[in-house]
Amino acid sequence: MTAQTSEGTLDRTPVGAPPRHPGNGGPLRLALLVGALGVVYGDIGTSPIYALQTIFNPADPHPVPVNTANVYGIVSLIFWSVTIIVTVFYVGIAMRADNDGEGGIMALITLIRRHASGRSRKAALTLAALGIFGAALFLGDSMITPAISVLSAVEGVKTVSTGLEAAIIPATAVIIVMLFAFQKRGTHVIGRWFGPIMCVWFGALALLGVGGVARNPEILKALSPGYAIDFVFGNFGVAFFALAAVILTFTGAEALYADMGHFGRKPISRAWIGIVFPAVMLNYMGQGALILEDTGNISGSFFLLAPEALRIPLLVLTTVATVIAAQAVISGAFSVASQASELGYLPRLRIAHTSEHQYGQIYVPWINWLLMVSVLVLVFAFRTSEALAFAYGMAVIGTIVIVVLLFLYVARVRWGAPKWLLATGGGLLLAITVVFLAASSTKIIHGAWLPLLIGVLAFTVMITWQKGREVVTGERERREGSLREFVDKLREGEPKVARVPGTAVFLDRGKHSAPLAMRSNLEQNHARHSQIVVLSVVTEPVPRVGEPDRLTVDQLGDVRDAVIHVTARFGYMETPDVPRALEAIDPEQAEGRRLNLDRATYFLSTIQLKPGKGRTMATWRKHLFIATSHITADAAEHFRLPRDRTMIIGSHIEV
């Protein structure tokens, strides 16, 4: 069994792109705020559709009895849970920990790896591994969110006509297939509509909520934390199990942090505090008031807030909003997979940039079709949003707990936060999220096992790829030998080769070893080009690299051999356009000669993998690593190399 692998980096932003947030004018701030509504808040903004009815779902294995005290307690618990986890932690604190403007769990992993040194190195690497598991859980979340969002929206037809119930699953499947088929066109095509539509959505949430509250203003008393405290400690057995469903009210919290690089911290924060938070909370209170009026309103409580004549327009708006919510998490999955590849946890994936002007607009075909199949399987397997909700919470809270842990470490190491502050404030926050996690674990046999299984599988693939990559790199460097020694021998006439005109560019991982392709070319063809560039592409743990820091040129000790080494640096959010980067090399740096890049030949070293007898990894992990290598994207396309001037030279390596 053999497989093919080669070097690569991945990215989302074209080299030389304009600044992420140019200018500070009012129209720009408004555009960013509206854009954040459309992309960031789709998931958390559609939670009112299904969250409250799931909490009081009589089919739940641990149902919450429907009575006045419990309704007040649940609504109060929702308000204060969202306030603490989303408003205080994510918006108020976590978003201040960024990696050159980028946020999210992958940014925290990068910060931790950057500060991993000395005695703290082992703890840092352990936390980084935990962060990778959190990213793997997010991929599970990316499969569940489109399924539960679209399914819950289509289920609204039951409030219009019970005769339409049989059409729910087929209609959901059709919408999902259309959604994923559209991805290759890029979200920028409909991106301009996302924000305005979500503005209408949040306005509808608020108006529906106000209408419900007006029918029973007493529900506003649930704003007092006393109701949440009484519910939890006076009814702990019921409240503990209810927490697993309360998690659904802050699904999408990670999106606030992960999408910070696209819109900036202030637009996201202002959108949350000024629009999203009030609208969502008003809607939950309106639904609570409706349930107090008639417990029969539990099923479909969101749609029942609207007058009967407006339910069909609301159903249409809800479906559009849930598609937007699904779109946001799909884009997030593309970003996580891209960044994981950049950091060496996944093979190089084929990336299509769908917009020349907007950050984050990428399409990853392999991830897209994997998600589509997974989402359809979930829809047909679970069939209702209530059943799928049991699985949903585990992925969400698992990721949040890991983000809290990583953030506390970064706060201590990077900011020097006092231990007493981390032990009190951080300890309280960690305790709250761990209780939610414990409550969600009670649903494992009812579906919460699914995101855990997906997370474990994705995590296993990631760490196996990282380990296998280390093994292959070590063996490759052993075979390649020292680059300087090879160039010295070449200068001395060993091996005997003819010099042909032109420029040859050999891509390699580092500056210390001679590329296998260069060795093979000289030994087999007995010829060398008049100019040779050994190029190493380095992915830095920052989103973008400035042009002055892009290239480093080393003449390798002698200006007469016409061999130079170039290190090209790209951020993990950039496109590694190799020919364009090499254009910045001055003739003085190239030993006094201008590189003839218009007619240069590019050489790639391609490795054929096969399992060996060495004890590098368990046998099953060797086969998994080789199988994973089959999805590696084409290196020539990835580095933007001209097809008609690219040669691939291969060799075998055992793992």
Instruction: Report the distance separating Cα 348 and Cα 634, nearest Å.
Output: 8
Mean pLDDT of 102-117: 77
Instruction: Report the distance separating Cα 210 and Cα 86, nearest Å.
Output: 23
pLDDT band at 279 (very low <50, low <70, confident <90, very high): very high
- Does residue 354 have a pLDDT over 70? no
Buried b (16+ CB within 10 A) or exposed e, 141-177: bbbbbbbbbbbbbbbbbebeeeeeeeebbebbbebbe
Q: Residues 473-501: pLDDT tens digits?
A: 777 777 777 788 888 877 777 777 888 88
Compute the mean pLDDT over every residue in the chain, rounded to the nearest whole number.
82
Mean pLDDT of 432-442: 92
Peptide bond connecting 347 to the previous residue in cis, omega within 30 degrees of 0: no
Instruction: Report the distance separating Cα 487 and Cα 603, nearest Å.
Output: 17
pLDDT band at 120 (very low <50, low <70, confident <90, very high): low
pLDDT band at 27 (very low <50, low <70, confident <90, very high): low
Mean pLDDT of 183-190: 64
Instruction: Report the distance separating Cα 291 and Cα 123, nearest Å.
Output: 49
Q: Residues 41-54: pLDDT tens digits?
A: 878 888 898 888 88
Give the pLDDT of residue 266: 85
Q: Residues 381-403: pLDDT tens digits?
A: 888 877 787 777 788 888 899 99
Mean pLDDT of 341-369: 73
The answer to whether 250 touches 86, Cβ cutoff 8 Å, is yes
Mean pLDDT of 288-300: 86
Q: Residues 122-157: pLDDT tens digits?
A: 777 788 888 888 888 888 888 888 888 888 788 878
Higher pLDDT, 386 or 642: 642
49 by DSSP, 3-state: which? Answer: helix
How many degrees, rounded to 5, is the angle at CA 600 between CA 596 and CA 602?
Answer: 145
187-201, 436-450, 638-652 — which one is most confidently predicted on average?
436-450
- Does residue 357 have a pLDDT over 70? no
Provide DSSP, 174-221: HHHHHHHHHGGG-THHHHHHHHHHHHHHHHHHHHHHHHHHHH-GGGGG
Higher pLDDT, 214 or 164: 214
Question: Dihedral sign, CA of 471, 472, 473, 477?
Answer: positive
Give the pLDDT of residue 229: 94
Give the pLDDT of residue 428: 93
Give the pLDDT of residue 194: 77
Two tokens, residue 343 = 């950091």
pLDDT band at 272 (very low <50, low <70, confident <90, very high): very high
- Does residue 1 have a pLDDT over 60? no
- Does residue 20 have a pLDDT over 80? no
Q: Could you tell me which residues are beta bridge partners of residue 607? A: 5, 651
pLDDT band at 190 (very low <50, low <70, confident <90, very high): low
Closest C-alpha to 196, from 360, 39, 46: 39
3-state secondary structure 524-579: HHCEEEEEEEEEEEEEECCCCCCHHHCEEEECCCCCCCCEEEEEEEEECCECCCHH
The answer to whether 41 touches 276, Cβ cutoff 8 Å, is yes
The answer to whether 507 touches 7, Cβ cutoff 8 Å, is yes
pLDDT band at 2 (very low <50, low <70, confident <90, very high): very low
Please tell me what DSSP assigns to residue 12.
S
- Does residue 11 have a pLDDT over 60? no
- Does residue 163 have a pLDDT over 80? no
Phi, psi of 156 (to 5 degrees): -65, -15
- Does residue 17 have a pLDDT over 80? no
Give the pLDDT of residue 119: 56
Q: Residues 443-468: pLDDT tens digits?
A: 888 888 888 888 899 899 999 988 88
Please tell me what DSSP assigns to residue 56.
T
283: Cβ–Cβ under 8 A, 6 or more apart, which residues? 48, 205, 206, 208, 209, 212, 302, 305
Phi, psi of 499 (to 5 degrees): -100, 125
